Structure 1
Amino acid sequence: MELFGAEAGAKLRPLMAYRCDDDKEEDIQLKPTEGMRSWDRIADHFISCILDRIDCEAPLKHGLMVQKMMEGLLRSAESGQP
């Protein structure tokens, strides 16, 4: 997966960040850490919400915002417009 804007971007595999600072391009190789296992943490929290009946830390409105952003990215890619 790749995500690029006018001044910066990122790529998932390999994990890289890209940015322009004072018209100088910079490629940054990122090294994943144990703390970056976000999917595992999300799944653990979701299971705890169900089994232990704890409050969800990610309200539905946050999921809706992410969904709208992803749909916007798809529309942008299809139209070729930012």
Structure 2
Amino acid sequence: MTHQSGEIATSSATIGTAIIPIGSTEVSIATTQVTNTSLIYVTPQSSTNNQVLYVKKKEENEGFTVAIDNASSQDIRFNWWIVN
């Protein structure tokens, strides 16, 4: 898994860990395992400062974006899992 500016490149992974960086509101995760019917679960590993992580966008065979509504004053680390 490689960290790139606002994007995590994972190729064909169905499970992983990512970070919404300090000052950001979203991160994109690139994986070919996303389908139109995929369920994508996210579980925070750190404080979210009372914000809810949500899947903002998913694109078949390309990946998905996890977001929060307001930029955080700290990194937000989370696990993600794609179920097909």
TM-score, reference length from structure 2: 0.27
Q: Which has the higher helix share?
A: 1
Q: Which has the higher strand share?
A: 2
Task: Tell me which structure has the larger Cα radius of gyration.
Answer: 1
TM-score, reference length from structure 1: 0.28
